[in-house]
Amino acid sequence: MRTERAATLRVQNLSKRYGSGETAVQAVKGVSLEVSPGEIVLIMGPSGSGKTTLLSMLGALLRPTEGRIELDGLVLSELSEGRLPDIRLRHFGFVFQDFNLLSALSALDNVAIVAELAGLGRKAARARARALLEELGLGARLHFLPEQLSGGEKQRVAIARALVNEPALLLADEPTANLDSHHGHETMRLLRRIAKEQGKSVLIVSHDARIQDIADRVLWLEDGEFKEMRSLATDPVCGMTVEREKAVSAQWEGKSYYFCCRGCREEFLAGPQRFGKATARERE
Amino acid sequence: MGYLAWRNLTQSKTRFLLSVGGVALALALVLVLDAILAGFEGPLAAPIERSGADVWVSQKGVRNLHMVLSTLPEGVVEVVAGVPGVASVTPMLYTTQMLRGPRGSRSSYVFGLPADAQAGKPAGAWPPGAGEVILDSGLGQVLGLEAGDTARVFGRNFRVAGFATGLSNPLNGVSFLRLEDFARLRRSRDTVSFVLVRVGPGRSAEEVARRIEEEVEGVSALSRAAFARRERAVVRDMGADAINIMNLAGLLIGLAVMALVMYTATLSRRAEYGVLKALGASSGHLYRVVLAQALYSVGLGLGLAVALTLVLPLVLSALGLNLPLQLTWASLLKAGGMALVVAGAASALPMRQIAGLDPARVYRGGAR
């Protein structure tokens, strides 16, 4: 596995518009962004803010209406449609919320097949996949089908798959959303280790406020554009990140608490001592 | 990528069995029909091929035995005997009759030959005496007759003098009378049906046949091989349309089964193909997976179909049915070709699905 790589993502004035005329929807508006090698960038924002559209464009899955995307010196936004699959295969590692492993293949083959797609022979692909999975602590699960793996194990297989072609950039879409707290932390630590030890750039889109702990930078996307980071708080009941200005709030023992909805507020007020350790966190 | 196709195919046992079983049944239909035809054709010309005659001379235009009437003046026998290259001639009377025995009745070629016949006589119990008949053993079995029993031929009783072997075919049995009995009962004293010719040493049957046609008026003459070939061709032509229609039915059934299975298999893995596309697999990669899956199905289906066709005669024999089946290389090649057509055609529809997959759906199809 390569340990150093000078990978930088540069995004300039990126926009995406769906439809035209009066029905046109501007999903992303003039977004600019730079990600350095070894940097972990977390993009947060409310539902419908354009995170998925932005991630799809950054991953060469969707063509921008305007703007420029440059990865490792390659201007993706200028490449023909036919070249994009190969670019995705060699320059990106994708980590999905639902893991998206192939149900008929073992953990080993799920990783090896992506290396084979990139042109590696079957034997070499399997050897590389084996080494990666063993490195991620899955040496005893190589021949297990996805249905035989736990959520955390599935996500580690997915991360191994994302790394097998030694990409410059890892794009992770809600990587902890389907994991319990323990496996969520494990995945976060793994992503950080990959970024810091291997110099990979990691771009994460997530609602999970815990990821802020490992991120080097947190960006807030709202209405299709990056906005100045607002004062954010964690709902002590459900753990969701909420904007203080828009959230429902309550006072307890002289402190302010912020909630995603009235239901969480009422649950909190019914027994605040149960959530007493949770505190609102300022983010800049 | 072949292993992905294989695992996709075998992951669901039900779908796997449906896919392979459906193709196997369709191809087995094609193979069995061909094998039946080949099985019919094989022994069909046995009375000709085992006749010992090098050339068959018949009424002009008659070029086979099955369902024909050939009448030649008796004098033709001597004329043919005088053609250079002819070593011996044997007059033969021939018709098709229903023979009856205690177990039932069956259609039979009836040959009338002189006691001193040089050709056309069966090996073994020859000649029959006056009022006697020699039956092919298969015919005797069907009619339930043994040596010494009485068989009804031309509405008269004949004593079974003995049995010949290996002459019956699925359409007809074979029986032999003395030429005199045959002529008397059919009132054909001054005519013969065929003249069986043996050629002299060093002479070719084709050359002698050509000379007979040149020198004897009103006759056709064919070498034994050509006469047997024509006999088979007649039966093949009679059954060709039915066989072709059933082959087409087999092809269409196989195609429908495969297309349905491939389509639903691809549909059920649409999300996974989308993931592969998002990860960077080209449509070409995915087409190859679908095509490999179809090829595995038809390959296994073909193997199973061949096995079924080979086992079927044993099953039929155990059930007491006498249906000769003969699997030929030509038939295997045809079924293999059909299998490839089925695989290609059945893959076309899923390929269109794959081509239309939007890789960006991998994000939109998530929980959000």
Question: What per-residue confidence (pLDDT) applies to B200?
Answer: 92
Q: Do A61 and B11 touch (CB under 8 A)?
A: no
| Axis crossing angle, helix B329-355 with helix B224-268, rounded to the nearest 10 | 20
Q: Which residues of A touch B280 (CB under 8 A)?
A: 85-90, 92, 114, 117-118
User: Which residue in B137, B158, B139 sits closest to B148, CA to CA?
Assistant: B158
Question: What per-residue confidence (pLDDT) applies to A1?
Answer: 39
pLDDT digits (tens, 9 = 90+) for A57-114: 998 888 999 999 998 888 888 888 888 899 999 999 998 888 889 999 999 999 999 9
In chain B, domain spans: 2-42+239-364, 61-217
Q: Do A85 and B7 touch (CB under 8 A)?
A: no
Residue B7: closest CA among chain A residues belongs to which residue?
Answer: A104
Question: What per-residue confidence (pLDDT) applies to A108?
Answer: 96
Q: What is the DSSP letter of B357?
A: -
The closest CB to that of B272, out of A89, A92, A103, belongs to: A103
Residue pointed to by tokens 């959530």: A275
Contacts of B339 (CB under 8 A, 6+ apart): B23, B27, B254, B298, B299, B301, B302
pLDDT digits (tens, 9 = 90+) for B147-193: 999 988 888 899 999 998 878 776 788 999 999 999 988 876 789 99
Looking at the complex, report in whole angstroms how far the Cα of residue B308 sits from the nearest Cα belonging to chain A.
Answer: 30
Query: How many helices, marked H, and strands, marked E, lie in chain A?
Result: 7, 14
Q: Do A102 and B368 touch (CB under 8 A)?
A: no
Chain A residues interacting with chain B (CB cutoff of 8 angstroms): 47, 52, 55-56, 59, 61-62, 85-90, 92, 94, 96-98, 100, 102-105, 109, 113-114, 116-118, 161, 173-174, 177-178
The closest CB to that of B279, out of A94, A97, A178, belongs to: A94
Interface test with B, best of A49, A56, A101 (most B CBs within 10 A): A56
Q: Do B362 and A85 touch (CB under 8 A)?
A: no
Helix (H, G, I), strand (E, B) or coil at B243: helix
Question: What per-residue confidence (pLDDT) applies to A175?
Answer: 86
Q: Do B11 and A47 touch (CB under 8 A)?
A: no
Residue B271: closest CA among chain A residues belongs to which residue?
Answer: A100
The closest CB to that of A85, out of B4, B282, B364, belongs to: B282
Residue B45 pLDDT > 60: yes
Using CA atoms, how far apart are residues B229 and B250, in angstroms rounded to an integer? 28
Q: Do A161 and B279 touch (CB under 8 A)?
A: yes
Q: Which residues of B touch A95 (CB under 8 A)?
A: none
Which of A155-159, B305-309, B336-340 comes out lowest in average pLDDT? B336-340
Using CA atoms, how far apart are residues B188 and B216, in angstroms rounded to an integer? 21
Q: Do A96 and B364 touch (CB under 8 A)?
A: no
Element at B25 (helix H, strand E): helix B13-44
Per-residue confidence of chain A (284 residues) as pLDDT tens digits?
Answer: 333 444 468 999 999 998 888 888 889 999 999 898 889 999 988 888 888 899 999 988 889 999 999 988 888 888 888 888 999 999 999 988 888 899 999 999 999 999 999 999 999 999 999 999 998 889 999 999 999 999 889 999 999 999 999 998 999 988 888 778 888 888 888 888 888 888 889 999 988 878 888 888 889 888 888 876 656 777 888 877 777 777 889 988 888 888 888 999 999 999 888 875 544 443 33
Q: Do A61 and B366 touch (CB under 8 A)?
A: no
The closest CB to that of B368, out of A47, A89, A105, belongs to: A47
pLDDT digits (tens, 9 = 90+) for B224-251: 999 999 988 887 777 667 777 877 787 7
Looking at the complex, report in whole angstroms how far the Cα of residue B360 sits from the nearest Cα belonging to chain A.
Answer: 5
The closest CB to that of A94, out of B1, B272, B278, belongs to: B278
Residue A121: closest CA among chain B residues belongs to which residue?
Answer: B1
Residue A205: closest CA among chain B residues belongs to which residue?
Answer: B363
Using CA atoms, how far apart are residues B364 and B296, in angstroms rounded to an integer? 33
Q: What is the CATH code of the structural domain delimited by A9-227?
A: 3.40.50.300
Q: Which residues of B touch A52 (CB under 8 A)?
A: 363-364, 368
Q: Do A62 and B360 touch (CB under 8 A)?
A: yes
For A232-275, give the CATH class: mainly beta
* Percent above pLDDT 70 for chain B: 96
Strand partners, B195: B57, B91
Q: Do A90 and B280 touch (CB under 8 A)?
A: yes
Contacts of A14 (CB under 8 A, 6+ apart): A28, A30, A31, A32, A33, A54, A57, A64, A66, A67, A68, A69
Residue B79 pLDDT > 70: yes
Q: How far is CA B222 from the centre of its chain?
A: 23
Looking at the complex, report in whole angstroms how far the Cα of residue B289 sits from the nearest Cα belonging to chain A.
Answer: 12
Q: Do B363 and A114 touch (CB under 8 A)?
A: no
- Backbone φ, ψ for residue B124 (5° rounding): 105, -125
Q: Which residues of B touch A158 (CB under 8 A)?
A: none
Residue B357 pLDDT > 70: yes
Chain A with chain B: Cβ pairs closer than 8 A:
84
Written as six digits, the tokens of A236 are: 């002590």
Helix (H, G, I), strand (E, B) or coil at B328: coil
Spatial contact of A225 and A29, defined as CB atoms under 8 Å apart: yes
Residue B53 pLDDT > 70: yes
Res. B318 pLDDT band, cuts 50 70 90:
confident
Looking at the complex, report in whole angstroms how far the Cα of residue B356 sits from the nearest Cα belonging to chain A.
Answer: 14
Residue B366 pLDDT > 60: no
Q: Do A98 and B367 touch (CB under 8 A)?
A: yes
Question: What per-residue confidence (pLDDT) applies to A281?
Answer: 42
Question: What per-residue confidence (pLDDT) applies to A230?
Answer: 58
State the alpha helices, DSSP H only, in chain A. Answer: 51-58, 84-91, 107-117, 122-135, 151-163, 181-198, 262-270
Residue B263 pLDDT > 60: yes
Looking at the complex, report in whole angstroms how far the Cα of residue A145 sits from the nearest Cα belonging to chain B.
Answer: 11
Question: What per-residue confidence (pLDDT) applies to A231?
Answer: 66
Question: CA dist A279 to A241, A256, A276, Å?
Answer: 12, 8, 8
Q: Which residues of A touch B278 (CB under 8 A)?
A: 59, 61, 88, 94
As to burial, measured by CB atoms within 10 angstroms (0-12 exposed, 13-18 middle, 19+ buried), residue B189 is exposed
In chain A, domain spans: 9-227, 232-275
Question: What per-residue confidence (pLDDT) applies to B351?
Answer: 82
State the alpha helices, DSSP H only, in B219-269. Answer: 224-268
